[in-house]
Structure 1
Amino acid sequence: MAKYFGTDGIRGRVPLEVNNSIAFKVGQSLKTALGTTRLVVGMDTRESGSELLFSVISGARSVGIDVMNAGVVSTPLISLFSKEKEVDGVMITASHNPYTDNGIKVFHYGNKLSHDQELKIEDYIDNNDKFNIGTLGEIYDGEEVLDLYLDLIDRLELYSTDLKVGIDSAHGANYLISKGILSELAENFFQIGNEPDGKNINNGVGSTHLEAITNLVKEQKLDIGFSYDGDGDRVLAVDNELNVVDGDKLIFVIACYLKELGLLKKDTVVLTKMSNLGIIKAFEDKGIKVILTDVGDKYVLEEINKNGYSIGGENSGHIILSDYINTGDGLLVSLLLLKILDDKEQSLKELTDEIKMWPQELFNIRTYNKEILNDKRVVKVVNEVKEVLKDNGKVLVRASGTEPLVRVTLSCETQSELDKHMNKIVSMINFVKEEV
């Protein structure tokens, strides 16, 4: 088991779980753990970002690693530059978490780390107390990072749209680049969540607070609204009738479009075990095979890379377009969707109307003691519900890899059945939580 790394890098409260000392050691560890000689670093807009970023830079330079500082950029830009230039990358971000949290995502040639690579970094953090400076690595300005991303966007062959488009940048990392690109494509363009102050990232805005983009779509009578998270690697949408369109549905629209063009490799998409049973049936009806992985976009990417698929992601909005980039990219997905809507001459609602979703709910239980999931009473109740539902439902109970939460996901054919089983599981977990 990893000590510091969760499902998406190192993440936690500042300075309790994430601090300058850990950031410095991560930077220093890269030469030993990954063989790093050149590094690109970036950060989102939280107030703790600058200190952590420069701690990583200092640690890396202290062992002779040359570093390019890209400043405030979205995670996809760091991943792309890491891949295309064959360097390692570090992004200082806690994604959709509040500003009081921060984190460190590490990329090796554009890919998130393997478990073995994470353990090597953790071993260095815990077992290397010596601070010896040899030849300092150089430090460079990061303008190249943006230039490379704009070259990627050019590959989409976009054209201007008459659609009225709104975005919510969560006061986060992509607030400038999303405005720069979308304001040129859409004459009727509106943006919120674009005034970061270090503390307001994800605060009442972004993909975890869809009421903000929903209100914008309603007030401005928009055709579509997109909502990003703090580091810009996920996106959710709201259509012109104020329906929320999750990541699975967005993948459905894109995959069907690619299949029509003969560009969906192996006619397959990769989703996670969180995906609704209704969306899986919708893919099957279109002749598209679905592969399910464990929750986490790193597992989706592993499956994509292993078998050469075109697209995969999570219903939370992490969507990987592997022909372009090796990580989720909310802005890239938004741009492709706008192109699809114009090409198809249909609304997002029309393109998703045929999907009949089963009742599904996610219930979060806040706790730092995630071992309660191993309690025999909790295991017994979860297994009882699984036995009742069999193939007519889904039960997923897991500890979050990014927050102090236990997540309970249930899907059933009827809402009444869902409510009954959810109450049974949640009540037992809360009972054990209070007891231990």
Structure 2
Amino acid sequence: MAKYFGTDGIRGRVGLELTTSLAFKVGQSIKDVLKADTLVIGCDTRESSYDFMYSVASGAQSLGINVILAGVVPTPVIQYYSEVKKIYGVMITASHNPYHDNGIKVFKYGTKLSEEEELAVEYFVDNRGEFDVISVGKVITSDEPLNIYKEIYKDLNLKKSNYVVAIDSAHGANSVIAKEMLSGYVKELHQIGANPDGVNINNGVGSTHLESIISLVKEKNADFGFSYDGDGDRFLLVDNDGDIIDGDKIIYIIASYLKSQNKLNKDTVVLTKMSNLGIIKAFNDLGIKVVKTDVGDKHVLAQIKEFDYSIGGENSGHIILFDHLSTGDGLFVSMYILKVLEETNKTLKELISPINMYPQKMENIKAYNKDIVNDQRITDLVTKTQALWSDDGKVLVRASGTEPLIRVTLSYKDEKELDKVMSEFISLFKTLKEE
């Protein structure tokens, strides 16, 4: 079992689970364990992010790694540059978490580390002592990672549209680039969440607080709105009425378009076990096969890579367009939506009209001891419910890999029955926490 790494790198509360000392050792491990010679590092807009960026850089430099500091950039910039240059990358971010959390994502040639590599890094962090400095690497600040990343947008062949678009950058890492890239392709652009101060990242804005983009869309009479998370690797969409279009529906829009263009490789999409049963039925009706993975974009990417699929992602908004990028990228995918809308000449409502979503609810239960998810009483309730609901329902209970939470996701055709069972799970978890 990993001690520091979760589903999306290392993440924790600043000064508690995540310290600059830990970050320094992670930087050293990139040389000692992963054998890197060059490292690119970026960060989001949290007040602690530069401290952690410099700590990782110092650790790496102390063992001879040459370090490129990209500053504040979205995660996809670091991941893409790591892939193109065949080097290691580190992104300092806690994604959609509040500012008092932070994290370290490590990439090897554009891909997250394997479980074996993560465990090797953790062993190094906990067991290696002091080092003699034999050679010291160079540290430079460079815009090259961002400039190379911008080149991928030429693949879209976008033309100027007449859309009025609202965006919410969560006071995060894509606050500047989102405005820069979108402004040239829409009639009007209205932006919120673009004034980071170190502590306001994800605070009432971004893809976990969609009420902000919904209000902006209605206020500006926009055609639709894009809401990004703190590090810019995911986004969610709202239409002109403020109705939410989640990651599953976004994948449906793009996959349907790709299939119509004979560009959907193997007529298959990759989703996670969190995906709604209604979306799976809609894909099947289109003749599109669905492959389901465990939660986490690294699992989605692994499946896409192994079988060379075109698209996959999570309903949270991590979406990978593998023909263009091997990473989830909120800005790139949102601009791909512009392309689909322009070329199909359809509204968002028309594009998702074939989907009949099943009632689905998720509860986040605070739990610092996440082992209670394996209690026999929980597993018995999961087994009993899934057997009762059969193919008409879904039961998923899992510990979050990024926060001290147990996530209970239920989907069933009968909403009253769904609510009843959800209450049973919440009550049982409350009992277990009090024991």
TM class by shorter-chain length?
over 0.9
Single out whichever of 147-156 and 291-300 deviates more from structure 2: 147-156
**Partner residue, 1:344:** 344
**Partner residue, 1:422:** 422
Within the alignment, does 1:156 sit opposite 2:156 as a pair? yes
Within the alignment, does 1:410 sit opposite 2:410 as a pair? yes
Structure 2 alignment gaps of length 5 or more: none
**Partner residue, 2:259:** 259
Within the alignment, does 1:302 sit opposite 2:299 as a pair? no
The Cα of 1:134 is off from its aligned counterpart by 1.8
**Partner residue, 1:142:** 142
**Partner residue, 1:50:** 50
- Within 1, Cα distance between the matches of 2:142 and 2:233? 19
The Cα of 1:141 is off from its aligned counterpart by 2.2
2:352 maps to amino acid: T
**Partner residue, 2:382:** 382
- Within 1, Cα distance between the matches of 2:320 and 2:313? 6
The Cα of 1:271 is off from its aligned counterpart by 0.1
**Partner residue, 1:133:** 133
Single out whichever of 259-268 and 68-77 deviates more from structure 2: 259-268
- Within 1, Cα distance between the matches of 2:375 and 2:350? 46
**Partner residue, 1:68:** 68
- Within 2, Cα distance between the matches of 1:51 and 1:236? 30
**Partner residue, 2:210:** 210
- Within 2, Cα distance between the matches of 1:69 and 1:374? 42
1:268 maps to amino acid: T
- Per-residue CA deviation, residues 118-155 of structure 1 (Å, 9 max, x unaligned), is 01110110011213222111112221111111111111
Single out whichever of 364-373 and 197-206 deviates more from structure 2: 364-373
**Partner residue, 1:244:** 244
- Within 2, Cα distance between the matches of 1:18 and 1:397? 26
The Cα of 1:389 is off from its aligned counterpart by 0.9
**Partner residue, 1:175:** 175
Q: State how 1:82-161 maps to structure 2 within 5 Å.
A: 82-161=82-161
**Partner residue, 1:225:** 225
2:295 maps to amino acid: V
**Partner residue, 1:7:** 7
Q: Is the 8 A contact 1:74 1:233 kept in 2?
A: yes
Q: Is the 8 A contact 1:63 1:135 kept in 2?
A: yes
Q: Is the 8 A contact 1:270 1:290 kept in 2?
A: yes
- Within 1, Cα distance between the matches of 2:233 and 2:398? 22
Within the alignment, does 1:235 sit opposite 2:235 as a pair? yes
TM-score, normalised to structure 1, is 0.99
The Cα of 1:75 is off from its aligned counterpart by 0.2
1:180 maps to amino acid: E
- Within 1, Cα distance between the matches of 2:361 and 2:316? 13
How high is the sequence identity, in percent, across the aligned residues? 58
- Within 1, Cα distance between the matches of 2:132 and 2:363? 48
**Partner residue, 2:369:** 369
Q: Is the 8 A contact 1:381 1:428 kept in 2?
A: no
**Partner residue, 2:198:** 198
- Per-residue CA deviation, residues 135-176 of structure 1 (Å, 9 max, x unaligned), is 111112221111111111111111111111111000000001
- Within 1, Cα distance between the matches of 2:149 and 2:186? 19
1:383 maps to amino acid: T
1:186 maps to amino acid: V
2:157 maps to amino acid: E
Single out whichever of 343-352 and 288-297 deviates more from structure 2: 343-352
The Cα of 1:32 is off from its aligned counterpart by 2.2
SS in structure 2 at match of 1:155: helix
- Within 1, Cα distance between the matches of 2:141 and 2:373? 47
- Within 1, Cα distance between the matches of 2:317 and 2:145? 24
1:303 maps to amino acid: Q
- Within 1, Cα distance between the matches of 2:157 and 2:140? 31
2:113 maps to amino acid: L
TM-score, normalised to structure 2, is 0.99
Structure 1 alignment gaps of length 5 or more: none
Q: Is the 8 A contact 1:214 1:225 kept in 2?
A: yes
Single out whichever of 375-384 and 111-120 deviates more from structure 2: 375-384
**Partner residue, 2:353:** 353
- Within 2, Cα distance between the matches of 1:354 and 1:377? 39
- Within 2, Cα distance between the matches of 1:383 and 1:420? 16
The Cα of 1:66 is off from its aligned counterpart by 0.6
Q: Is the 8 A contact 1:241 1:349 kept in 2?
A: no
The Cα of 1:411 is off from its aligned counterpart by 0.2
SS in structure 2 at match of 1:171: coil
1:409 maps to amino acid: T
The Cα of 1:390 is off from its aligned counterpart by 1.4
Q: State how 1:306-345 maps to structure 2 within 5 Å.
A: 306-345=306-345
Q: Is the 8 A contact 1:240 1:349 kept in 2?
A: no
2:327 maps to amino acid: T
- Within 2, Cα distance between the matches of 1:378 and 1:110? 38
Q: Is the 8 A contact 1:7 1:402 kept in 2?
A: yes
The Cα of 1:381 is off from its aligned counterpart by 1.7
- Within 1, Cα distance between the matches of 2:380 and 2:196? 46
Runs of 4+ in structure 1 over 6 Å off: none
1:198 maps to amino acid: G
Equivalent residues, number: 435
The Cα of 1:429 is off from its aligned counterpart by 1.2
